[in-house]
Structure 1
Amino acid sequence: MPTLETRISTGRPERYLRQFCSHATAMGSGGSARMRMHGTGQAAHDEVRVRVEATGTAATVHLEPWGHCTLRAETGALLVRIDAAETTALQRLRDTITRDLERFGRGELTVRWLSVTDPDA
């Protein structure tokens, strides 16, 4: 399972975690539904289903069948991990998540992904 991780320095990690989860929920049209493409009412052509599980400082966003994104707010940083079903799905998730987080940060957030060679590490 291909995996990427990033540690994003920010003074407001909980805010960005909540915003990302809220956005993912809206894109999924309310929890467990087909993902909508940005700015349209059309379903994504890959029929991705979105489900969000979140607490105050941690969340998992399931984007089935592509994979899932795990977020954790720590003091001074937002930790994000993507576990994907395969390489093409990883690229789609990476591009979508990067675009959303950088847009939410309005220039404050820099996302630099690192490949995880041993996902169990």
Structure 2
Amino acid sequence: MAQFNETTKNAQKIAIVMYKHYKKMKKDSNYSGNALNWGTADTVLETIGGKWSRDDVVSACWELKECEIIDGFRKKNELSGMRFTTKGIAVLEKIPQKRFDSILNRVAQVKSIL
């Protein structure tokens, strides 16, 4: 099984955009279960928009399923019934903290040089 950091940058970016949308939906909704559900690649593409093609989204969704960020079932060589997994939410919640820690480490390195 692949790890999230082993997926393509495209899949990681799409997952992060999906996660940001999930957080907004969870905040705005009384039922956070709806925020977990993504349905199909078309729904994802419609929601995240941007520079991605449908093929980019389909490919990214398969990668994200492989590393258990999302789950779903195969329908005509695509994923359907997609939703974030508990593991997926946990992995994506850690990303901003990891970046923050990385920045703090760089600042500490610069300070030690000075």
TM-score range, shorter chain: under 0.3
Higher RCO (CA 8 Å, separation ≥ 6 residues)? 1
More strand by share: 1
Tell me the TM-score normalised to structure 2 length: 0.28
Higher helix share: 2
